[in-house]
Structure formats: structure tokens, C-alpha cells
Amino acid sequence: MAPEFSKPLAARPTSIPGVVLYDLPIHGDNRGWFKENWQRSKMSALGLPDFGPVQNNISFNEKAGTTRGIHAEPWDKFISVATGRIFGAWVDLREGPSFGTVFTAEMGPDTAIFIPRGVGNAFQTLEDNTAYTYLVNDHWSAGAQGQYTFLNLADETAAIRWPIPLEQAELSDKDKAHPRLGDVVPMAPKKILVLGADGQLGKALRAEYDGDPRVEFASRADFDLTDPASFADRNWKDYTAVINAAAYTAVDAAETPEGRAAAWAINAQAAARLARAAVEHRLTLVQVSSDYVFDGTAQVHVEGEPVSPLGVYGQSKAAGDAAVFTVPAHYIVRTSWVIGEGSNFVKTMASLAARGIAPSVVDDQIGRLTFAEDLAAGIRHLLETGAPYGTYNLTNTGPAVSWAEIAREVFRLCGAAPESVTGVSTAEYFAGKDGVAPRPLLSTLDLGKLEGTGFVPAEAVKRLESYLQRLGEDS
């Protein structure tokens, strides 16, 4: 059957999520025909993910009735017919509610189909000398077959209506022996890898994703960001996204020779290695940034403000952000004054209040607290909603306040006298002390872009109340 000429390029969604059938323009005359089988910019404009193909395979089938499949491979495929005609059958073999969903279609040179990882692919040739082509985004190897998921061509549940009955078709012995749907182990989805899983944010991410098998957590013992071997030994094909919750945050220690090296190794060099892995393996990379990338002269910091870090910590974070910015699929989540499980300012003030100590606290550094639970929830929101990639500010909401005002509120909530907290300037507080890092005085981050995605963090004062209540219950 001759292909249909001059049909416009079009996408047709199917019953299987992520599987899309494409009409391809064919240009022909008395000599034959020509088509653009794969055209990245045009396909992307139609919504096909830029899945990064690396290998092109062709299956030649001499006789009509040749039947192959059903195989679900651990990579994405763009499938078309070079010559001849086929009856295609696809079965969703991924974990999830669409497991077992079937889609079938006849295809010739004027159609193509995108099959995501984990969807079983099969076809039966309807003409002699049919060539079936695969454009895939991972390199085939004999070892990769161990990651396949198979379904029997004659499965009664899928109930595929093969144009040529299977008993009359040409099948391989292996395909005849594949399991029925009830015995198929679904292909598990790719995972999210959380690095720095034992820090304040890492622990909050553990709580946020508690019980979710799609998320893997790695502490420094599991993945040392300063060791290149950690990157080389990781099978990045198993992941779809990486959340980098690890950081060197000892602001003052970063000004020492040892601390400077450590800050740059973790905050900058490790971020650059992660960025390279993300680009090479088409991962989404989430990088947690800091208000310290600014000099603190703007009343409110927006995402597009040029960075101007004052000290080593801020400089190393800004360098890491610059590396991550090169990743096509990235979220740089800029935050400030993080409070979570572990040592932090609020816990220190609560302890002083309980012991009747009257502290001096700086009153000219202005910003908002960020509770780790909201930071974790915001990161999850960006990933799960598919928010546009880029930089987002994320803190709790409410008025911008000073550290001294926060300390007084902690004292009040703990039943101590707020007036026992004395406000002092940053210069006064650090007078006579060596090795002190410069700090941005104004750290308020604009939240409009984040809120535009549908995520509005809780008010800082409400989170402070519940946090102190939990502290009291645990003490």
C-alpha cells in the first residue's frame, strides 16, 4: 500500500499515558517518496519530549505475518516504518493505574509512535520486506536485557486481535514462552535521588516523601559529593531527578583556609559534577541556593537579580548555581534562614529562654525564616507539577523581621520575657571577633514567582508556634 502524500505533521494521543501516535508528512513523485522521520524542533513543538536519542535500530522482516514482542525496554523509543506496513500493539507494563492498558494501530511510512520506558512494544508485519525502525535514548547491550519486562503475545487479558492469527504467524520460541499479565512484574518507575539526606532539609525531605518507593535517600556515607568515584559508580539511568540537599553551611568557618577548600569542594565543584551528570543522563536537577549569594543591599531580592556574594560561603554557592544553570531541566531553589531538625537559631533561643539567659541578638539583619518542611514541600511541588524550569525563591510568608524580633517572639512563646532580648547591630555583635564572615543585611526574598505556580508557603509565625510546641513535647 502506497503511503499517503502531503499529510500534515500531527500528534494523536492514545489510551496509554505518554504514548503518542504521529502522522508524518510524506513527499513523493514518480521516483518514490521522502520523509523527515525525526525532526527535533518540529517534534518538540508538537509536545514530544526531547528524549535525547543516541542509537537507531532497524528490524527487517522478510515475510508478512512475522510477529515480534511484547517487550518493554528500560528506555524511550520513537518507532516508525521505513518500508512496508505493520499492525502495532502496545501494552503498558509500568507500575501504576494504567498497567495493562492496550493500544493498537496499523502503521506505514506515514506514521510514527513515541513509546515511553516500560511500555511493551510488539508488531506484526502485514507486507513482505517490512523494515521497522527504532530511535532510542540509551545504548543497547546484552546486559540491558535483564531489565526488560515481557508479556506473552497471546495473553488473554490484553486480548490483542492480531490480523494474522498467532498460530499462523512467525514467532520466536522466546516470545512464545513469555508470561501472562498476571505473572508480569511491572517495571518500576525511575527514582528521585536525594543527596544530603541527613541534614535539616534532607530529614524534612525524608518526612515529605515518607513511604514513597520512588525516592532514594543518600547520606554522605552513601554518596560522598567530594569523591569523583561516587559519581562514576552511580547508575544514573535509574533516576529521573536529583535533589541536592547537601551543602557546606559553616559560614564563618568558610573564611578559614580549611573551610574555604571544603566550601568550594561541596558547594561548587560537587554541584558542577552533578550538573554534568544531569546533562549527560537527562536528569532534572534541584539545587538549593541561599540568600548569601546577594550582598543584601536590595530591599527585596527577585530571582533575576545579579549575584553579588560578600563572603566565601556565598561565593561558593553562587558558583554552584552557575553550574546548575547550564542544565536544561533545573530548579535552583533560593532560600534563607532555614529551621529544621538539628541545631538552629530558634532552638538556641528556646534553650536560652528556658535557662533564663538574656541574649544580645542582631537587629539589622532582615529577612524571613524558612522551615525545612515547607522547603521540602515546595521542592516536591515544583517537581510534581512540572513548573517551568528556572530559579525560585522559597521562604515562609509573612512580614520581614530581624533576628532580634524572632528571638523576642521565641521568648514570648516559651513564656519568657521578650524584653530580655537586647537588639544590637551586626557590627556591635561581632566587634573584636576574628574570622567572621560578612553577612547580607537585607535577605527578604520575593515569593511571587513561586506563588504563581500554585504553592503558597505557610506563615512563618504559625510555623514557629508549631515548631516550638514540638520542641516542648520532645524535651
Domain harbouring 332, CATH code: 3.40.50.720
Whether residues 292 and 423 fall in one domain = yes
Q: 79 pairs with which residues across the strands?
A: 113, 134
Do 412 and 282 have their domain in common? yes
Question: Cα 132–112–147 angle (5° rounding)?
Answer: 65
Question: DSSP string spanning 371-426?
Answer: EHHHHHHHHHHHHHHTPPSEEEE---BS--EEHHHHHHHHHHHTTS-GGGSEEE-H
Enter the DSSP assignment of 459. Answer: B
Count how many domains the chain has: 2
Helical (H) or strand (E) element with 123 = strand 119-125
**Which of 183, 207, 233 is where one domain is finished?**
183
Last residue of a domain, one of 129, 156, 183: 183
Catalytic residue among 134, 248, 313, 467: 134
Tell whether 244 and 137 lie within a shared domain.
no
How do the pLDDT tens digits run along the chain, 475 residues long? Answer: 556 776 789 999 999 999 999 999 888 766 677 788 888 888 888 888 888 888 989 999 999 999 998 999 999 999 999 999 999 999 999 999 999 999 999 999 999 999 999 999 999 999 999 999 999 988 876 666 668 899 999 999 999 999 999 999 999 999 999 999 999 999 999 999 999 999 999 999 999 999 999 999 999 999 999 999 999 989 898 999 999 999 999 999 999 999 999 999 999 999 999 999 999 999 999 999 999 999 999 999 999 999 999 999 999 999 999 999 999 999 999 999 999 998 899 999 999 999 999 999 999 999 999 999 999 999 999 999 999 999 999 999 999 999 999 999 999 999 999 999 999 999 999 988 888 999 999 999 999 999 999 999 999 999 999 999 998 777 6
Do residue 453 and residue 355 come from a single domain?
A: yes
Please tell me whether residues 298 and 396 are part of one structural domain.
yes
- Specify the pLDDT at position 139: 81
Q: Does 1 fall in a domain?
A: no
3 lies in some domain: no
Answer yes or no: do 156 and 218 share one domain.
no
> Cell match 506505514: residue?
108
Catalytic site residue from 71, 281, 301, 330 = 71
Q: Is residue 141 part of a domain?
A: yes
- Cis status of the peptide bond prior to 379, with omega within 30 of 0: no
CATH number for 96: 2.60.120.10
User: Read out DSSP for 321-355?
Assistant: HHHHTTSSSEEEEEE-SEE-SSS-HHHHHHHHHHH
pLDDT at 435: 83
Query: Is the domain of 164 the same as that of 196?
Result: no
Would you call 71 a catalytic residue per the annotation? Answer: yes
What SS3 state is found at 267? helix
Residues 158 and 202 in one domain: no
437/373 same-domain check: yes
Residue 307: C-alpha distances to residues 313, 324, 448 (Å): 13, 14, 19
Whether residue 317 lies inside any domain: the answer is: yes
**Residue 142 sits in which domain range?**
10-183
Q: How far is CA 167 from CA 56, 152, 313, 315, in A?
A: 31, 13, 70, 69
Residue 52 buriedness (CB in 10 A; 0-12 / 13-18 / 19+): middle
Task: Give domain status of residue 78, yes or no.
Answer: yes
> Is the same domain home to 252 and 288?
yes
pLDDT of residue 475: 63
A 10 A CB-CB count for 279 gives 16
Write down the pLDDT at residue 461. 95
Which pLDDT belongs to residue 26?
Answer: 85
> What are the distances in angstroms from CA 272 to CA 242, 269, 331, 416?
13, 5, 14, 46
What is the model's pLDDT at position 2? 57
From the number of C-beta atoms within 10 Å of its C-beta (0-12, 13-18, 19+), residue 43 rates as buried
Do residues 117 and 243 both lie within one domain? no
* Residue 5 domain flag: no
- 172 and 290 both lie in a single domain: no
Q: Tell me the whole-structure pTM to 2 decimals.
A: 0.86
Indicate whether 2 belongs to any domain.
no
Boundary-marking domain end, from 145, 162, 183:
183
Q: How far apart (Å, rounded) are the C-alpha atoms in residues 85 and 80?
A: 10
262 is a domain residue: yes
